[in-house]
Protein backbone atom coordinates (compact mmCIF):
# COMPACT_ATOMS: atom_id res chain seq x y z
CA UNK A 1 0.00 0.00 0.00
CA UNK A 2 1.41 3.37 -1.06
CA UNK A 3 -0.29 6.62 -0.10
CA UNK A 4 1.02 9.80 -1.69
CA UNK A 5 3.44 10.50 -4.54
CA UNK A 6 6.79 8.68 -4.12
CA UNK A 7 8.52 11.37 -6.18
CA UNK A 8 7.55 13.92 -3.50
CA UNK A 9 6.32 12.28 -0.27
CA UNK A 10 4.57 8.95 0.23
CA UNK A 11 4.10 6.31 2.92
CA UNK A 12 4.49 2.67 1.91
CA UNK A 13 3.51 -0.18 4.21
CA UNK A 14 2.84 -3.90 4.01
CA UNK A 15 1.00 -6.05 6.55
CA UNK A 16 2.19 -9.65 6.25
CA UNK A 17 0.63 -10.88 9.50
CA UNK A 18 -1.83 -9.08 11.77
CA UNK A 19 -2.05 -9.58 15.54
CA UNK A 20 -4.79 -9.17 18.10
CA UNK A 21 -2.28 -7.59 20.48
CA UNK A 22 -2.46 -3.80 19.97
CA UNK A 23 1.14 -3.45 21.11
CA UNK A 24 2.12 -5.39 17.96
CA UNK A 25 -0.73 -4.54 15.51
CA UNK A 26 1.02 -6.34 12.65
CA UNK A 27 4.31 -7.58 11.27
CA UNK A 28 5.50 -6.07 8.02
CA UNK A 29 7.30 -3.05 6.67
CA UNK A 30 6.93 0.71 6.90
CA UNK A 31 8.86 3.02 4.59
CA UNK A 32 8.76 6.70 3.75
CA UNK A 33 9.45 7.96 0.24
CA UNK A 34 10.96 11.46 0.14
CA UNK A 35 12.01 13.05 -3.12
CA UNK A 36 12.04 9.72 -4.94
CA UNK A 37 14.17 7.88 -2.37
CA UNK A 38 12.85 5.10 -0.15
CA UNK A 39 13.82 5.23 3.54
CA UNK A 40 13.25 2.24 5.78
CA UNK A 41 13.81 -1.51 5.76
CA UNK A 42 11.87 -3.01 2.86
CA UNK A 43 11.41 -6.61 4.02
CA UNK A 44 8.55 -8.85 5.19
CA UNK A 45 9.70 -8.94 8.80
CA UNK A 46 11.18 -5.45 9.05
CA UNK A 47 9.18 -4.26 12.03
CA UNK A 48 6.03 -4.46 14.09
CA UNK A 49 3.67 -1.74 12.89
CA UNK A 50 2.30 -0.53 16.22
CA UNK A 51 5.20 1.93 16.48
CA UNK A 52 4.76 3.51 13.04
CA UNK A 53 0.99 3.94 13.41
CA UNK A 54 1.56 5.60 16.80
CA UNK A 55 4.15 7.96 15.26
CA UNK A 56 1.77 8.96 12.48
CA UNK A 57 -1.06 9.51 15.00
CA UNK A 58 1.23 11.67 17.13
CA UNK A 59 2.42 13.64 14.13
CA UNK A 60 -1.16 14.45 13.12
CA UNK A 61 -2.05 15.46 16.68
CA UNK A 62 1.01 17.73 16.98
CA UNK A 63 0.55 19.50 13.66
CA UNK A 64 2.18 22.92 13.59
CA UNK A 65 4.34 22.44 16.69
CA UNK A 66 7.64 21.39 15.10
CA UNK A 67 9.03 24.90 14.80
CA UNK A 68 12.77 24.80 15.49
CA UNK A 69 14.52 28.17 15.09
CA UNK A 70 16.95 26.65 12.54
CA UNK A 71 14.23 24.99 10.43
CA UNK A 72 15.21 26.91 7.27
CA UNK A 73 18.96 26.28 7.47
CA UNK A 74 20.95 24.09 5.06
CA UNK A 75 19.58 20.53 4.99
CA UNK A 76 22.95 18.78 5.07
CA UNK A 77 24.13 20.93 7.95
CA UNK A 78 20.95 20.19 9.92
CA UNK A 79 21.41 16.45 9.27
CA UNK A 80 25.05 16.50 10.42
CA UNK A 81 24.31 18.65 13.46
CA UNK A 82 21.46 16.39 14.55
CA UNK A 83 23.67 13.32 14.32
CA UNK A 84 26.66 14.99 16.00
CA UNK A 85 24.65 16.20 18.98
CA UNK A 86 23.22 12.70 19.42
CA UNK A 87 26.24 10.50 18.74
CA UNK A 88 29.53 12.40 18.51
CA UNK A 89 32.00 11.85 21.36
CA UNK A 90 33.91 14.88 20.08
CA UNK A 91 30.86 17.12 20.49
CA UNK A 92 30.16 15.77 23.97
CA UNK A 93 33.80 16.04 25.09
CA UNK A 94 33.75 19.77 24.28
CA UNK A 95 30.99 20.47 26.79
CA UNK A 96 31.02 17.66 29.36
CA UNK A 97 33.06 19.70 31.89
CA UNK A 98 31.29 23.00 31.25
CA UNK A 99 28.27 24.58 32.88
CA UNK A 100 25.45 25.14 30.40
CA UNK A 101 26.04 28.92 30.28
CA UNK A 102 29.69 28.28 29.35
CA UNK A 103 28.94 26.07 26.35
CA UNK A 104 29.83 27.57 22.96
CA UNK A 105 26.92 28.32 20.63
CA UNK A 106 28.17 26.01 17.89
CA UNK A 107 24.82 24.74 16.58
CA UNK A 108 22.93 27.44 14.64
CA UNK A 109 23.53 29.85 17.51
CA UNK A 110 22.51 27.27 20.12
CA UNK A 111 24.67 25.41 22.62
CA UNK A 112 24.89 21.61 22.68
CA UNK A 113 22.40 21.51 25.57
CA UNK A 114 20.00 23.96 23.92
CA UNK A 115 19.99 22.00 20.66
CA UNK A 116 19.20 18.78 22.53
CA UNK A 117 16.40 20.59 24.39
CA UNK A 118 14.96 21.61 21.00
CA UNK A 119 14.84 17.95 20.02
CA UNK A 120 13.33 16.78 23.31
CA UNK A 121 10.74 19.57 23.22
CA UNK A 122 9.51 18.30 19.86
CA UNK A 123 10.64 21.31 17.83
CA UNK A 124 12.03 18.72 15.43
CA UNK A 125 9.77 15.76 14.75
CA UNK A 126 11.99 12.67 14.67
CA UNK A 127 10.31 9.75 12.94
CA UNK A 128 12.96 7.12 13.69
CA UNK A 129 12.84 6.57 17.47
CA UNK A 130 9.16 5.67 17.68
CA UNK A 131 9.01 3.45 14.61
CA UNK A 132 10.47 0.33 16.24
CA UNK A 133 12.86 -1.28 13.70
CA UNK A 134 11.36 0.31 10.57
CA UNK A 135 14.35 2.59 10.00
CA UNK A 136 17.13 0.22 11.02
CA UNK A 137 18.75 0.76 7.61
CA UNK A 138 20.37 3.91 9.00
CA UNK A 139 17.61 6.21 7.77
CA UNK A 140 16.59 9.42 9.52
CA UNK A 141 13.47 11.51 8.88
CA UNK A 142 13.36 15.03 10.36
CA UNK A 143 10.17 17.06 10.02
CA UNK A 144 9.62 20.79 10.52
CA UNK A 145 6.46 22.91 10.40
CA UNK A 146 7.30 26.24 8.73
CA UNK A 147 4.26 28.47 8.39
CA UNK A 148 1.80 26.77 6.06
CA UNK A 149 4.42 24.35 4.76
CA UNK A 150 6.18 21.20 5.97
CA UNK A 151 9.86 20.53 5.41
CA UNK A 152 11.19 16.97 5.42
CA UNK A 153 14.91 16.31 5.62
CA UNK A 154 15.65 12.64 5.03
CA UNK A 155 19.00 10.89 4.87
CA UNK A 156 20.99 7.82 5.79
CA UNK A 157 24.03 8.01 8.02
CA UNK A 158 27.44 7.41 6.50
CA UNK A 159 29.19 4.08 6.95
CA UNK A 160 30.85 3.70 10.34
CA UNK A 161 34.65 3.62 10.42
CA UNK A 162 34.31 0.51 12.58
CA UNK A 163 32.13 -1.45 10.12
CA UNK A 164 35.10 -3.22 8.54
CA UNK A 165 37.27 -3.57 11.64
CA UNK A 166 37.70 -7.18 12.69
CA UNK A 167 37.48 -7.88 15.52
CA UNK A 168 35.26 -4.91 16.25
CA UNK A 169 36.16 -3.13 19.51
CA UNK A 170 33.57 -2.96 22.28
CA UNK A 171 31.25 0.04 22.11
CA UNK A 172 32.92 1.55 25.19
CA UNK A 173 36.23 1.75 23.26
CA UNK A 174 34.77 3.38 20.15
CA UNK A 175 35.16 7.14 19.64
CA UNK A 176 33.31 9.15 17.02
CA UNK A 177 34.20 12.62 15.78
CA UNK A 178 31.50 14.95 14.48
CA UNK A 179 32.55 14.09 10.93
CA UNK A 180 32.21 10.36 11.66
CA UNK A 181 28.54 10.97 12.46
CA UNK A 182 27.67 12.78 9.24
CA UNK A 183 25.13 11.84 6.59
CA UNK A 184 25.78 10.01 3.33
CA UNK A 185 25.41 12.86 0.78
CA UNK A 186 23.91 10.71 -2.00
CA UNK A 187 20.99 9.80 0.30
CA UNK A 188 20.04 13.34 1.35
CA UNK A 189 16.63 14.63 0.29
CA UNK A 190 15.11 18.00 1.19
CA UNK A 191 11.42 18.39 0.33
CA UNK A 192 9.03 21.25 1.05
CA UNK A 193 5.30 20.81 0.50
CA UNK A 194 2.04 22.43 1.63
CA UNK A 195 1.11 21.40 5.16
CA UNK A 196 -2.43 20.47 4.10
CA UNK A 197 -1.03 18.07 1.49
CA UNK A 198 1.42 16.45 3.91
CA UNK A 199 -1.06 15.94 6.73
CA UNK A 200 -3.68 14.63 4.29
CA UNK A 201 -1.21 11.91 3.27
CA UNK A 202 -0.75 10.97 6.93
CA UNK A 203 -4.49 10.86 7.59
CA UNK A 204 -5.20 8.82 4.45
CA UNK A 205 -2.47 6.29 5.30
CA UNK A 206 -3.70 6.03 8.91
CA UNK A 207 -7.27 5.36 7.81
CA UNK A 208 -6.21 2.85 5.13
CA UNK A 209 -3.92 1.05 7.59
CA UNK A 210 -6.70 0.63 10.15
CA UNK A 211 -9.07 -0.67 7.47
CA UNK A 212 -6.49 -3.21 6.27
CA UNK A 213 -5.65 -4.28 9.84
CA UNK A 214 -9.31 -4.72 10.79
CA UNK A 215 -9.96 -6.81 7.66
CA UNK A 216 -6.90 -9.05 8.15
CA UNK A 217 -7.01 -12.45 9.88
CA UNK A 218 -5.23 -12.02 13.22
CA UNK A 219 -2.90 -14.22 15.19
CA UNK A 220 -4.35 -14.52 18.72
CA UNK A 221 -2.12 -13.71 21.67
CA UNK A 222 -2.21 -17.36 22.72
CA UNK A 223 -0.37 -18.34 19.50
CA UNK A 224 2.35 -15.70 19.48
CA UNK A 225 5.09 -18.07 20.71
CA UNK A 226 6.49 -20.17 17.87
CA UNK A 227 8.91 -23.06 17.63
CA UNK A 228 11.84 -22.78 15.21
CA UNK A 229 9.99 -24.92 12.67
CA UNK A 230 6.86 -22.78 12.95
CA UNK A 231 8.93 -19.61 12.59
CA UNK A 232 10.64 -20.72 9.36
CA UNK A 233 7.32 -21.86 7.90
CA UNK A 234 5.77 -18.54 8.88
CA UNK A 235 8.74 -16.64 7.42
CA UNK A 236 8.21 -18.27 4.04
CA UNK A 237 4.53 -17.36 4.26
CA UNK A 238 5.44 -13.77 5.15
CA UNK A 239 7.81 -13.57 2.17
CA UNK A 240 5.12 -14.86 -0.18
CA UNK A 241 2.57 -12.39 1.21
CA UNK A 242 5.06 -9.53 1.00
CA UNK A 243 5.88 -10.33 -2.64
CA UNK A 244 2.21 -10.51 -3.64
CA UNK A 245 1.26 -7.28 -1.86
CA UNK A 246 4.25 -5.29 -3.11
CA UNK A 247 3.57 -6.39 -6.70
CA UNK A 248 -0.07 -5.38 -6.37
CA UNK A 249 0.90 -2.04 -4.81
CA UNK A 250 3.41 -1.37 -7.59
CA UNK A 251 0.81 -2.05 -10.26
CA UNK A 252 -1.69 0.27 -8.53
CA UNK A 253 0.94 3.05 -8.39
CA UNK A 254 1.73 2.65 -12.10
CA UNK A 255 -1.98 2.74 -12.95
CA UNK A 256 -2.42 5.92 -10.92
CA UNK A 257 0.48 7.52 -12.81
Q: 17-21, 71-75, 132-136 — which is least confidently predicted? A: 132-136
Rounded distance between C-alpha atoms, residue 92 and residue 15, angstroms: 40
Calculate what percentage of the chain has a pLDDT beyond 70: 89
Q: What pLDDT does 251 receive?
A: 59
| 157 or 172, which is more confident | 157
Residue 195 pLDDT greater than 80, yes or no: yes
Residue 63 pLDDT greater than 70, yes or no: yes
Stretch 52-71: mean pLDDT: 91
CA angle 125, 130, 136 (to 5 degrees): 105
Q: What pLDDT does 143 receive?
A: 92
Total residues found in the chain within this entry: 257
Stretch 173-179: mean pLDDT: 76
- 41 Cβ partners below 8 Å, 6+ apart? 29, 31, 47, 133, 134, 135, 136, 137
Specify the pTM.
0.83
Q: What is the tens place of the pLDDT at every residue in 85-131?
A: 888 888 778 787 778 778 877 888 888 888 888 888 887 877 765 56
Q: What pLDDT does 56 receive?
A: 92
- 115 Cβ partners below 8 Å, 6+ apart? 81, 85, 107, 108
Residue 9 pLDDT greater than 60, yes or no: yes
Q: What pLDDT does 215 receive?
A: 92
Stretch 190-203: mean pLDDT: 96
Q: What pLDDT does 99 receive?
A: 81
Buried b (16+ CB within 10 A) or exposed e, 40-60: bbebbbbbbbbbbbbbbeebe
Q: What pLDDT does 86 receive?
A: 83
Q: 40-49, 152-161, 163-172 — which is least confidently predicted? A: 163-172
Amino acid sequence: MIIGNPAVVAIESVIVEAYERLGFRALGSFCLHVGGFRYGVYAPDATMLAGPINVVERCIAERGTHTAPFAEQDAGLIADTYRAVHYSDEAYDKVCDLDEEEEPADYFGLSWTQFRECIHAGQIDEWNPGCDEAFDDGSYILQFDVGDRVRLIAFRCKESKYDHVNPKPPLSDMWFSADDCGHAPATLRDVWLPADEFYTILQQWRDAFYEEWKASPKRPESEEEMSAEEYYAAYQRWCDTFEKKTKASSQETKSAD
